[in-house]
């Protein structure tokens, strides 16, 4: 039961309980932010470990596009990397040099990349060969 605004609480005349409640809310929010940061850091570390050595963050971001597209096409990028490393290197190289990056990202976000990639992707022929192999 809350005390009226014009009367002081007889059990808490200095407002310590109200101040503690506010602090508890702030501490809880801070803990949630720390948890989010930890999860984000773990995700970044996993991505770093999976990235090929010596690539810039921009190049890694571009490579994520080909990996995402392969997954949308029901291709396993890691299986292709193991079984056909030269093909995967060619896919990654073409993706890094691609001039249609913004369209690729837009199509991936919209969920239409699996249908439209032959129109803009320099890897279309390689991906089709992998899909039909």
- Please tell me whether residue 12 adopts helix, strand or coil conformation: strand
**Residue 71 pLDDT:** 92
Number of structural domains the chain divides into: 1
pLDDT value at position 90?
Answer: 93
**In a domain? residue 5:** no
Model confidence at 123: pLDDT above 90: yes
Say if 107 falls within a structural domain: yes
110 pLDDT more than 80: yes
Question: Is 127 part of any domain?
Answer: yes
pLDDT class for 72, splitting at 50, 70, 90?
Answer: very high
Residue 3 is assigned to a structural domain of this protein: no
Domain that holds residue 103: 57-131
Please indicate, yes or no, if residue 21 is contained in any of the structural domains: no
3-class secondary structure, 9: strand
Of all residues in the chain, what percent carry a pLDDT higher than 90? 32
Q: Tell me how far apart the alpha carbons of residues 31 and 94 are, in angstroms, rounded to a whole number.
A: 43
The C-alpha atoms of residue 113 and residue 118 are separated, in whole angstroms, by 9
pLDDT tier for residue 98 given thresholds of 50, 70 and 90: confident
77 within some domain: yes
Q: Is residue 71 part of a domain?
A: yes
Mean predicted confidence (pLDDT) in 67-96: 91
In this prediction, residues 102-114 reach a mean pLDDT of 90
pTM here is: 0.56
pLDDT score at 25: 84
**Could you give phi then psi for residue 12, rounded to 5 degrees?**
-145, 70
Query: Residue 51: what pLDDT?
Result: 53
Let me know if residue 121 belongs to a domain: yes
Q: Mean pLDDT throughout 18-29?
A: 81
pLDDT band at 31; cut points 50, 70, 90: confident
As a whole number of angstroms, the distance between CA 125 and CA 123 comes to: 6
């Amino acid at each position: 039961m809350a005390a009226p605004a014009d009367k002081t609480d007889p059990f808490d005349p200095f407002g310590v309980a109200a101040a503690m409640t506010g602090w508890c809310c702030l501490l809880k929010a801070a803990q949630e932010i720390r948890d989010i940061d930890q999860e984000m850091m773990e995700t970044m570390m996993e991505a770093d470990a999976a990235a090929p050595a010596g690539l810039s963050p921009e190049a890694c971001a571009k490579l994520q596009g080909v990996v995402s597209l392969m997954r949308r096409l029901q291709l396993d990028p890691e299986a292709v990397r193991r079984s056909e490393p030269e093909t995967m290197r060619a896919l990654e190289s073409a993706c890094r040099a691609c001039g249609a990056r913004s369209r690729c990202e837009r199509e991936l976000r919209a969920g239409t990349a699996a249908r439209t990639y032959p129109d803009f992707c320099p890897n279309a022929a390689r991906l089709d060969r992998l899909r039909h192999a």
